[in-house]
Amino acid sequence: MRLDPLRQLILAKLRELAREPEALFWIFVFPVLLALALGVAFRSAAPEPLPVAVEDGPEGAAIVAALEASRDLRPEVVPHGEAAERLRTGKVALVVVPGESWTYWFDPTRPDSRLARLAVDDALQRSAGRTDPVATVDRTLTERGSRYIDFLIPGLVGMNLMGTGMWGIGFYIVNARSKRLLKRLVATPMRRWQYLLAQIGGRLVFLVLEVGALVGFASLAFGVPLRGSIAALAAMCALGGMTFAGLGLLVASRARTIEGVSGLMNLVMLPMWILSGIFFSTSRFPDVVQPLVQALPLTAVIDGLRAVMLDGAGIAAVADEMMIAGAWCALSFLLALARFRWS
C-alpha cells in the first residue's frame, strides 16, 4: 500500500485550511471569545442580597429594621400602589404587607422569591423573639471544578469539535464536488477511501491545536481544572473529532451545492446544540426524551469530556461514552463511503 497519496491529500487539506483566515477565526478565536464572554457573565461572585419591599404603613419602619439585620436581604419601604408592580417586574423578590397578620406576597415559581420567603420569615420571627432549639454553625465551600465555567468549558470543546468537524469537512467536500474536482480526482488512480480518510486525518491534526487553545485558555483565564490525564482527554477528543468528521462526510456525501449542505448540517446539528448539554445539564430534560438525548453523539462526547476534565476519569471510566461515539463514527464513515457521489 502506498501511503504517499494519503500524506499529500492531508497536506493539501491542511494547507487550504491554514490559508483561510475566516476558517481560522471560527476554529480558534470564536470558541475562546465565547468562553470568555460566558465565563465573565456567569462568574461566581459573593451572593447578592435579595431585594424585598415592605408596603408603607404604621409598622413599615420596624419591619425594615428587622429585615436589615439579615445579611441576605435588602429591604425598602414602597408606597402602597407600587409594590405589586415591583414584584411583577422582578425588581423585588418578595413584598411584606403589614396588617393584622403579616402577609408574604411572592412568586413560588421563582427560586429567588422562594429563598426570600424563607429569609424574611426567619429574620422577622427572630426579631420577634424566636429562639432556635438546636445550635448550628455554617461552613461554606466554593470549589474549583464545580463552578459554571468549569461545567461550560467541556461543553464548548464538544461544540467546537462538532462544528469544525462538520463544517470543515462538509464545505470542503461539497466545494470540491461543485467545482468538478472530485471527478477529476477519481479520474486518477487515487483510492477513494484514502481521500475520505485524509479528511478525517486532516481534522485530527487541527483538533490538537483547537482543543489545546480552548483548554489552555480556560485554564489560564479561569483556572478550569484538568483532573484526568492528558492521554484520556486526547483520546476522548480524537474520538469526538473522528465522530463528527464521519458525520460531516455523511452529510456531505450527496449534496451538490453549499446551500444544500448548509441546510442538512443545521438539521443534524440543531438537536445536538439544544439537547446535548453544552450550556446546561441534560438532566433537565424529561425522562421521556432521555434515551434520545443519551444516544446523541455530542451528548456522549461532552459527558466523556466532563468526566475526564472535572472528575478525573480514566479511559476505562468513559468506555460507554466512547462506545456510543465510536459507533456513530464507524457507521457514518461506512455509510458515507457507500453513498458518496464523486461527480
Binding site for another protein (CB under 8 A): 2, 4-5, 7-9, 11-12, 15-16, 19-20, 176, 179-181, 183-190, 343
Distance in Å, CB of 25 to another protein, minimum: 16
For the CA atoms of 279, 283, 288, 289, what is the dihedral angle to 10 degrees?
30
- Cβ closest to another protein, residue 182 vs residue 272: 182
Distance in Å, CB of 183 to another protein, minimum: 6
- Cβ closest to another protein, residue 164 vs residue 276: 164
Distance in Å, CB of 7 to another protein, minimum: 8
- Cβ closest to another protein, residue 94 vs residue 255: 255
Distance in Å, CB of 26 to another protein, minimum: 16
- Cβ closest to another protein, residue 4 vs residue 138: 4
Distance in Å, CB of 248 to another protein, minimum: 18
- Cβ closest to another protein, residue 158 vs residue 168: 168
- Cβ closest to another protein, residue 22 vs residue 143: 22
- Cβ closest to another protein, residue 8 vs residue 257: 8
Distance in Å, CB of 190 to another protein, minimum: 4
Distance in Å, CB of 313 to another protein, minimum: 40
